[in-house]
């Protein structure tokens, strides 16, 4: 019954199937003028750890000509949590092109409060390993195997249905040009 429901959701939403074992690497493309990436995947998240590799190419470089907008965080990957919507409880990596470098952040919502913490910088055209571990009390962010940031998790967090969050450009401003990110699930 669950498989039938999932298949119906895919047909209705026009989404593609999630990562498969044979296809662990995907190119996510955010088209100019858009926020969401394609392919649009629908996938639940039940693990205690999200681990993946990602590579940004030169399309991650952008100039929005407005410093306040330039610092908006673009989302890389993560998951909703606590059986709630992602603007209530979630953990994910975010990125921005700022100060002539690709900056990586922890980007969480905890009880509907947004938390952003700088993790570090990565180079273009270089594969990096990203990991978010979920414990009973916190999210732990790792970049290339190094523990970088911890964020306290909601205290009244119940299990349940959580979902994956995929690449998204913005804040309020859509992608100024096509952005491409290669992601390999681990």
The pLDDT value given to residue 42? 85
The pLDDT value given to residue 158? 78
The pLDDT value given to residue 18? 52
pTM, to two decimals: 0.87
The pLDDT value given to residue 157? 86
Q: In what order do the strands lie in the sheet with 138-143?
A: 25-30, 179-185, 49-56, 128-134, 138-143, 146-152
pLDDT tens over the chain, length 186 residues: 444 333 433 433 444 445 444 457 899 999 999 999 999 888 999 999 999 999 999 999 999 988 888 989 999 999 999 999 999 999 999 999 999 999 999 999 999 999 999 999 999 999 999 999 999 999 999 999 999 999 999 988 877 789 999 999 998 899 999 999 999 999
């Amino acid at each position: 019954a669950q498989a039938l429901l999932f298949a119906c959701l895919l047909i209705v939403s026009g989404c593609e199937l999630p990562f498969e074992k044979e296809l662990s690497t995907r190119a996510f493309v955010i088209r100019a003028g858009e926020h969401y990436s394609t392919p649009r995947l629908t996938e639940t998240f039940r693990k205690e750890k999200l681990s993946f590799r990602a590579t940004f190419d030169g399309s991650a470089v952008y100039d929005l000509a407005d410093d306040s907008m330039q610092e908006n965080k673009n989302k890389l990957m993560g998951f909703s949590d606590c059986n709630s919507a992602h603007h209530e409880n979630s953990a994910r990596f975010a990125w921005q092109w700022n100060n002539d470098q690709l900056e990586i952040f922890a980007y969480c919502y905890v009880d509907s409060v947004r938390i952003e913490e700088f993790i570090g910088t990565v180079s273009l055209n270089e594969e990096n390993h990203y990991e978010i571990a979920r414990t009973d009390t916190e999210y732990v962010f790792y970049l290339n195997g190094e523990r970088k940031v911890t964020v306290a998790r909601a205290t009244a967090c119940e299990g349940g249905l959580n979902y994956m969050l995929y690449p998204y450009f913005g804040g309020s401003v859509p992608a100024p040009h096509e952005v491409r990110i290669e992601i390999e699930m681990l």
